[in-house]
């Protein structure tokens, strides 16, 4: 599991962090990350491409994590039913990468209106899942554009990967766009 002190150290020094986590502790690593974000006055934009956002909402609830400041961009649920939840935005498909970028910028704008002091922490869960639906070229371009657009907002970006499922190509592409790598 990633230690909180390690998370703090890397995000103090970097904006874009590639996190390689073992599948056994993957959820725990996410919880650590989310906790770190909330404790450090961040508003969290959580991109769900692996597990539906509702599942994580339930997990956060059961572990006592206050989730008012967590917004989900969910591209796993092909239904608009959950759009009733003001903290969940549905993107119809994980291939609509531009739409994900726009939703992030949208969330940034509305959270700035509500909480002008908080800057975003964007968690991508996970790059492995996105890479199933998108080729490496477009995925790398997606991260480039995303980083260029969010850097001026003071955002932190955590790109999650499951170590056991990481191909060499994907790993290499993600390392190129990240400021640093955190391996658990």
Between residue 65 and residue 104, which ones bind another protein under the rule CB under 8 A? 92-93, 95-99, 101-103
φ, ψ dihedrals at 117, nearest 5°: -85, -15
Q: Are 67 and 60 in contact (CB under 8 A)?
A: yes
| DSSP 8-state assignment for residue 179 | S
- The residue within the footprint of another protein, chosen from 8, 9, 151, 172 (CB under 8 A), is 172
Q: Does 132 bind another protein (CB under 8 A)?
A: no
- The residue within the footprint of another protein, chosen from 140, 153, 171, 180 (CB under 8 A), is 140
Q: Does 108 bind another protein (CB under 8 A)?
A: no
Nearer to another protein, 59 or 149 (CB): 149
* Residues with Cβ within 8 Å of residue 103, at least 6 apart in sequence: 73, 89, 91
Closest contact distance (angstroms) between CB of 145 and another protein is 6
Q: Are 77 and 95 in contact (CB under 8 A)?
A: no
Closest contact distance (angstroms) between CB of 137 and another protein is 4
Q: Does 175 bind another protein (CB under 8 A)?
A: no
SS3 85: coil
What is the C-alpha to C-alpha distance for residues 157 and 143, in angstroms, rounded to an integer? Answer: 10
Nearer to another protein, 28 or 112 (CB): 112
* Residues with Cβ within 8 Å of residue 59, at least 6 apart in sequence: 27, 31
Nearer to another protein, 5 or 148 (CB): 148
Q: Which residues bind another protein (CB under 8 A)?
A: 92-93, 95-99, 101-103, 105-106, 109-110, 134-138, 140-142, 145, 149, 169, 172-173
């Amino acid at each position: 599991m990633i230690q909180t002190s390690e998370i703090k150290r890397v995000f103090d020094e970097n904006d874009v962090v590639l996190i390689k986590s073992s599948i056994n502790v993957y959820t725990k690593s996410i919880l650590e990350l989310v906790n770190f974000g909330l404790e450090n006055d961040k508003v969290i934009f959580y991109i769900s491409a692996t597990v539906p956002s509702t599942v994580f909402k339930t997990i956060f609830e059961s572990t006592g994590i206050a989730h008012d400041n967590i917004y989900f961009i969910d591209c796993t649920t092909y239904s608009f039913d959950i759009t009733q939840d003001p903290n969940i935005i549905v993107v119809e498909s994980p291939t609509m990468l531009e739409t994900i970028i726009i939703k992030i910028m949208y969330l940034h704008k509305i959270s700035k209106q509500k909480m002008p002091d908080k800057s975003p922490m964007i968690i991508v869960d996970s790059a492995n899942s996105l890479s199933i639906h998108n080729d490496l070229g477009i995925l790398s371009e997606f991260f480039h554009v995303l980083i260029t657009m969010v850097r001026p907002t003071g955002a932190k970006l955590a790109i999650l990967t499951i170590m056991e499922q990481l191909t060499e190509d994907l790993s290499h592409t993600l390392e190129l766009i990240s400021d640093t790598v955190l391996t658990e």
